[in-house]
């Protein structure tokens, strides 16, 4: 295979990966709305609260080309407080290609924490809590999620609620333990069909669904812009190789 064919194949593969990520996000955002966390209402004073995401092989710059591709917010569904942004604590602020805060090696897993500000504690007391998020691997376009969760500490005990099954990626891996092999081998795409405990390129969700036509238009515009930049970059590289 000549260099031109290799270059075309690599560019096509990047396009397919990007398109797959977009359709994953479209499916997640347009699916039936659900509340991420449900637990018994809290009457005791809340002492602290922390949000966690369990990732495998995740490399997550906050932005790519000025577009925010990794973020998460807690959504109040009982008192009307504004969304609480967790993004800085989870992902930092580094845009691609700067070194990201979340930068996992091959077969590495880890639980990333983000503390919840006391000003948002009234939203936690009702026993229902939404999450709005987008997660995208900005290295090789592949990662996995086991679950995300919230831990609420009160004067009488600790409450834990999860979205996604906290089962060690369906393999019984202890928290922070390594995958038993390369991600694509042990958690191939489509393993669960849920976006959890399987290889994905991106996943997003929202308590309140966005109209499908609007989201498709926005993602399509963003995708065409990214692809145009990549194609222009590829033309420059090709010209240099002639």
| All structural domains of the chain with their residue ranges | 1-32+209-242, 33-208
Contact 75, 152 (CB under 8 A): no
Output the tens digit of pLDDT for each of the chain's 242 residues: 454 444 443 443 454 345 344 544 444 443 445 788 999 999 999 999 999 999 999 999 999 999 999 999 999 988 989 999 999 999 999 999 999 999 999 999 999 999 999 999 999 999 999 999 999 999 999 999 999 999 999 999 999 999 989 999 999 999 999 999 999 999 999 999 999 999 999 999 875 434 443 444 444 444 444 444 444 444 333 333 33
Contact 165, 173 (CB under 8 A): no
**Gap between the Cα atoms of 197 and 190, Å rounded:** 9
Cβ neighbors of 25 (< 8 A, separation 6 or more) are 134, 202, 203, 204, 215, 219
Read off φ and ψ for residue 237, nearest 5 degrees: -65, -45
The model's pTM: 0.74
Per-residue pLDDT at 18: 53
Q: Nearest-CA neighbor of 183 among 106, 111, 112, 110? A: 106
Radius of gyration of the chain (CA): 19
Q: Nearest-CA neighbor of 62 among 82, 29, 28, 85? A: 85
The helix or strand, by DSSP H or E, that contains position 84, with its residue range, turns out to be strand 84-85
Rounded to 5°, the CA angle 192-198-203 comes to 100
Contact 70, 62 (CB under 8 A): yes
The helix or strand, by DSSP H or E, that contains position 72, with its residue range, turns out to be strand 71-76
């Amino acid at each position: 295979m000549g260099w031109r064919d290799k270059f075309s194949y690599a560019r096509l593969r990047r396009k397919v990966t990007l398109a797959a990520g977009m359709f994953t996000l479209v499916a997640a955002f347009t699916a039936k709305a659900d509340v991420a966390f449900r637990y018994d209402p809290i009457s005791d004073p809340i002492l602290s609260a922390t949000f966690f995401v369990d990732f495998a092989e995740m490399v997550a710059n906050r932005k790519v080309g000025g577009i925010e591709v990794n973020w998460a917010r807690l959504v109040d569904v009982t008192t009307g407080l504004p969304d609480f942004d967790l993004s800085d604590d989870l992902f930092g602020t580094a845009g691609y290609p700067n070194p990201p805060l979340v930068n996992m090696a091959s077969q590495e897993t880890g639980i990333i924490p983000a503390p919840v500000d006391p000003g948002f504690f009234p939203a936690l007391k009702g026993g229902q809590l939404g999450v709005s998020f987008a997660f995208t691997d900005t290295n090789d376009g592949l990662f996995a999620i086991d679950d995300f969760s919230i831990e609420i500490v009160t004067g009488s005990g600790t409450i834990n609620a999860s979205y996604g099954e906290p089962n060690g990626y369906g393999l019984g891996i202890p928290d922070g333990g390594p995958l038993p092999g390369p991600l694509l081998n042990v958690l191939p795409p489509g393993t669960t069909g849920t976006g959890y405990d399987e290889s994905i390129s991106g996943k997003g969700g929202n308590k309140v669904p966005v109209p499908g036509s609007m989201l498709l238009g926005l993602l399509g515009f963003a995708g065409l812009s990214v692809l145009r930049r990549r194609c222009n970059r590829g033309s420059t590289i090709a010209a240099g190789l002639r």
